[in-house]
Amino acid sequence: MGKGNGKSEAANLDLEHELPPAEGAEETSAAAAAPPAAAAVSEVETLKAERDALYDRLARLQAEFDNARKRAAREQQEFRDFAAADVIKGMLPALDSFERALKATSGDTSEFRNGIELIYRQLQDALQKAGVQPVASVGQPFDPRIHEAIEVVDTTEVPDHQVLEELQRGYKFKDRLLRPAMVRVARNSGA
């Protein structure tokens, strides 16, 4: 009896916790099976919508990044053009002086030489304002970072590895070498 009563009590307890059947109990049992599937479909749709929103956001960010990169490149090019225009503008007076010298019909070579020297100084000034400096060479020790040795001359008059003559001037722009100086270098076998 104890066993039989225990089973009926457990069955009564379970019945107490169950909800009473609603109208159209057959429909409810069919609907009870549908929510998990409907919930899964709803969750899949939600995830698809979220994925599509993230793809859209990614595409927009990529386009925005590409536009920013293009804008930065365009601004850099405009800056380079502006800087180049400033250097060119500084050289225009020298060009004007060349034109005047070529138009001169005078046979006086001293005036022509003075004109050429003026043009040379104007070009030097324009380059100096732009930050271009000549490389020191004659009388300096040979430095392969800024000098290019064209010839080595045997001599006892100057120390070994000293620059004797500058064949073509070298230039630096700020701290960057634009062109090495082409030089003749001394080789003193007695040193």
What is the dihedral angle through the alpha carbons of 106, 107, 110, 113, rounded to the nearest 10 degrees? 80
pLDDT for residue 30: 47
123-127 LR contacts (CB < 8 Å, sep 24+): 123/91, 123/94, 125/90, 126/87, 126/90, 126/91, 126/93, 126/94, 127/171
Please determine, for residue 34, whether its predicted confidence score (pLDDT) is greater than 80: no
pLDDT for residue 15: 53
Its CATH architecture, for the domain 41-130, is Alpha-Beta Complex (3.90)
Please determine, for residue 110, whether its predicted confidence score (pLDDT) is greater than 90: no
pLDDT for residue 31: 47
**Domain coordinates in residue numbering, the chain:** 41-130, 132-191
- Of residues 65 and 126, which shows the higher confidence score? 65
Percentage of residues in the chain having pLDDT higher than 90: 40
pTM of the predicted model as reported, rounded to 2 decimal places: 0.54
Token pair listed for 140: 């300096």
Yes or no: domain 132-191 corresponds to CATH 2.30.22.10: yes
Q: Are strands 181-187 and 147-154 parallel, antiparallel or unpaired?
A: parallel
Average pLDDT over the chain reads: 81
